Amino acid sequence: MKKNTVFCKSFGKAMFATFGLAVLGLSPLFAQTNLTDTMRDENSITRSANSGFAEEEFRLGVQSYYRGAYNEAIQEFEKALSYLPGENLILDWLGKAYYKAGVEGSALQQWQFASDDGYGGLLLQNRIEIVGDRRITQTEFDYSQHYTEAGSFPHLNGTTLIYSQPISALANTDGSLWVVAYGSNEILHYDVNGVIKKRVRGPINGFDRPMDIIRLQNGNMVVSEFAGDRLALLDENGSFIQYIGKKGRGEGEVIGPQYLAEDSFGNIYVTDFGNARVVVFDPDGNGLLHFGQKSIDFPGLRSPTGIAVLNDRVFVADSATGAIYEFDRAGNFISNLVNEKTFARPESLKNWGDHIILTDKNRIVTVDTDTGSVFENGRTARATSQITAAVPDRNGNIIVTDFKANDIYVMSKMTELVGGFNVQIERVIEDNFPNVVMEVKVENRHRQPIVGLDLDNFLITENKRPVSNLKLVGAADNNDTMDITLLIDRSVDMEYYEEQVNSAVQEICAAMNGKGRVVVISVGDTPTTEFTGSPSSLSSFSVRALSTPYTENAALDLGIRLAVNDLVNGEKKRGVIYITSGTVSQNAFTKYSLSDLSAYLNNNSISFSTILVDTLMPAAEVDYITENTTGTTYYVYRAEGLAPVIEDLMALPSGLYQFSFTSNQKTEFGKKYLPIEVETYLLNRSGKDESGYFAPLE
């Protein structure tokens, strides 16, 4: 009792107010922060005292979390739990902090404690399931997965015709897509919600039965015109530039051109149905060669349809033979990738990672280009179906054009439809309360970002009531600036590669065009930050200026942690680039495991790429982190140079969206926990997250 008397003297009138709430049977922490006092065996004054301490630690923890100080947040939430053991809201936030810190095992444990106590319902159970599955499921994409219809873009609006006979599609990096409508002689630009943003009908004389569309390396597009016996070159917005090819049987001439592809040299391939061959144009649109006729070792194409070029291997489908044939870039027949009569009527071929995806009447099929193995990904239920194209989009779906059924389908993995999106409230910025800024990340269950969403895809509420003046400030996927941290390996064998390191740093920084920020960290016994500033300041970088000596025990795990700590509050597009010979020391991963490091990178949307200064294969540990964090491995003296590394990193999708709104909640002088919820909808899929924040103290 003496202890409680001293407590009351210390807090004066505030303590009596707290005591009054306890007498009324209302937990003071519940009244202010929605936390429930679980210490029911203590007297009411002790409960109120513990609630007050817990409330303050919890408030500090939430604010630390939103500042990106996850280790501080963990300490503050654990202190709060020491006052109120088992409090579910604190357990939930402690799990969030562990998750962002990359310690997913501990995060799952805290969430499971809360879930077992009846907290969080299906929302928390779904989060536990998603994170748990990610930890035990291989990250390598499974091309044999089954897809089912998730929505469609109908051809009628009442009795008004929107399009006729869709035949092919092209997915854009912003989540939108172009659809070729053969019957209505146009291409349509759709957003992710199925809203038409633009119609393109070609030059003054219009398209003449457009059939396929591809995007070239320079950003322009090419459309084949089946009845026009030509190709139309368009800019990235669909404006006409020029025609390629003409009707005939000579070089650079076509009769009934169908499906298109491009190789790494910019050459354009088209299946010439009327001449039963493939015609190749150079990047300027000049006729280069044709192939596919009968030869000693090849019976000749009879009815060529789909075509794809993957790693400069050319694959051509034949609807008459039901086979896929492989050629080299010069048109020499190599082999049958898939034997005759395997398919009933194959149509388009499209690249899908290291596989090709094709359509066969009412089936969608994936083919392994190394083995020729065939996997069925889905079917349409319509008896009248004739699928002509299946195109993977930016959000993990397959866009399907059904020529006969006159429909466009969006097909998704069954697990995605059942489980929905993984939506996370990443940050709440309340400095100018009641004007609030909130960042929301939207992914599918396999961590693939969902891009292209707009304000209509979101519902944001506070304590279940819609917020006021809601605006979509922007999407990080559209950002053109990024922050980079360069990790430089200081292992002893790197002493022989100073020229390569200098070249790598200078080339990477030059490719950033003065935008963003660069941090240089030396990975030695103890990682050290050597430089922070503009990339233009490193135009004459020299590895000899680094202060960290070479060592036998480079602590790569600590280097990665230091790099991520710095990037957490950086630009929304950010990445770590590790410059190394590829070897690792015995003590490279003594503090943190590979899975925890990968989780720390992924959970903060930071990619990890590797630049090798030698032609040797990287150590398995380095390769693991690179492969599991959307990164890529590059050789320092590769033919393309290192400038495209920045382009590759900038091109990585980001499902982060930023909103602003006006809060209508009472803050109780900044002491009250303000609940906030967000729901995301796209076609037949949805996701939800719930969180909260504190307004500034008054």
The 10s digit of each residue's pLDDT in 271-297 is: 999 999 999 999 999 999 999 999 999
First to last CA, the chain: 33
Best CA proximity match to 365, nearest among 436, 303, 317: 317
Could you tell me if 414 and 183 are in contact, meaning their C-beta atoms sit under 8 angstroms apart?
no
- Phi then psi for residue 434, to 5 deg, are -85, 5
User: What whole-number distance in Å separates Cα of residue 541 and Cα of residue 545?
Assistant: 8
Percent of the chain with pLDDT over 90: 83
Q: What is the mean pLDDT of residues 528-543?
A: 95
Q: Give me the phi and psi of 252, to 5 degrees please.
A: 75, 15
Residue 306 has pLDDT above 90, yes or no: yes
- Is 47 a residue whose pLDDT tops 90? no
pLDDT of residue 39: 40
- The C-alpha atoms of residue 222 and residue 370 are separated, in whole angstroms, by 28
Q: Which pLDDT score is estimated for 144?
A: 82
Closest CA to 292 of 335, 333, 238, 348: 333
Give residue 294's pLDDT. Answer: 92
What integer is the mean pLDDT of 683-698?
Answer: 92
Confidence of residue 168 (pLDDT cuts 50, 70, 90): very high
- Which of 313-317, 531-535, 682-686 has the lowest average pLDDT? 682-686
With a CB cutoff of 8 Å and minimum separation 6, the contacts of 231 are: 222, 223, 224, 225, 243, 244, 245, 254, 257, 260, 268, 270, 281, 285
The more confident residue out of 34 and 675 is: 675
Cis peptide before 644 (omega within 30 of 0): no
pLDDT exceeds cutoff 50 at 408: yes
The confidence score (pLDDT) of residue 150 equals 87
- Mean pLDDT of the region 623-640: 93
pLDDT tens for each residue of 464-520: 999 999 999 999 999 999 999 999 999 999 999 999 999 999 999 999 999 999 999
Q: Which residue has the tokens 């989780």?
A: 599
Residue entry with tokens 């789909």: 306
Q: What is the pLDDT of residue 380?
A: 86
Per-residue pLDDT at 381: 76
Low-confidence winner among 23-32, 105-114, 599-608 (lowest mean pLDDT): 23-32
Q: What's the pLDDT at 13? A: 32
Confidence of residue 419 (pLDDT cuts 50, 70, 90): confident
Helix, strand and coil in the chain, % to nearest 5 = 25, 35, 40
Q: What is the reported pLDDT for 8?
A: 35
Question: 673-682 and 458-462: which strand pairing?
Answer: antiparallel
Task: Please report the pLDDT score of residue 4 as a whole number.
Answer: 37
- What's the confidence (pLDDT) of residue 136? 65
Q: CA-to-CA distance for 622 and 608, rounded, in angstroms? A: 10
pLDDT of residue 446: 85
Which long-range contacts link 71-74 to residues 24+ away (Cβ below 8 Å)? 71/101, 73/97, 74/98, 74/101
Is 411:148 a contact under the CB 8 Å cutoff?
A: yes
**For 493-504, b where at least 16 C-beta lie within 10 A, e where not — what string?**
ebeebeebbbbb
- Among 317, 421, 300, residue whose Cα is nearest residue 360: 317
pLDDT value for 37: 45
Calculate mean pLDDT across residues 310-339. 96
Pairing assessment for the beta strands 607-612 and 633-635 based on DSSP bridges: parallel
Alpha-carbon distance 682 to 411, whole Å?
A: 13
Q: Which of 498, 527, 521, 624 is nearest to 576 (CA)?
A: 521
Enumerate residues 6+ apart whose C-beta is below 8 A from 608: 560, 575, 576, 578, 598, 601, 625, 626, 629, 631
Q: Which class for 221: exposed (0-12), middle (13-18), buried (19 or more C-beta within 10 A)?
A: buried
pLDDT category at 21 given cuts 50, 70, 90 is very low
Side-chain-facing half-sphere of 466: CA atoms under 13 Å = 6
DSSP 471: E
| pLDDT for 46 | 52
**Contact (CB, 8 A) for 289 and 251:** yes
pTM of the model: 0.88
In the predicted model, what is the mean pLDDT of residues 545-571?
A: 95
Q: Apex CA 200: angle with CA 198 and CA 201, to 5°?
A: 150
Cα gap 439→642, rounded to integer Å: 32
Mean pLDDT over 656-679 rounds to 95
**For all residues of the chain together, what is the average pLDDT?**
90
Q: What are phi and psi of 403, to 5 degrees?
A: -65, -45
pLDDT band at 25 (very low <50, low <70, confident <90, very high): very low
* Confidence class for position 35, pLDDT limits 50, 70, 90: low
Q: Nearest-CA neighbor of 97 among 119, 80, 85? A: 80
Tell me: the pLDDT tens digits for 331-368?
999 999 999 999 999 999 999 989 999 999 999 999 99
Query: Residue 347 carries which DSSP code?
Result: E
- Of 72 and 446, the structure prediction assigns the larger pLDDT to 72
What percent of the chain clears pLDDT 70, i.e. is strictly above it?
A: 92
Residue 10: what pLDDT?
33
pLDDT bucket at 562, cuts 50 / 70 / 90: very high
Residue 88's φ and ψ, nearest 5 degrees, are -65, -40
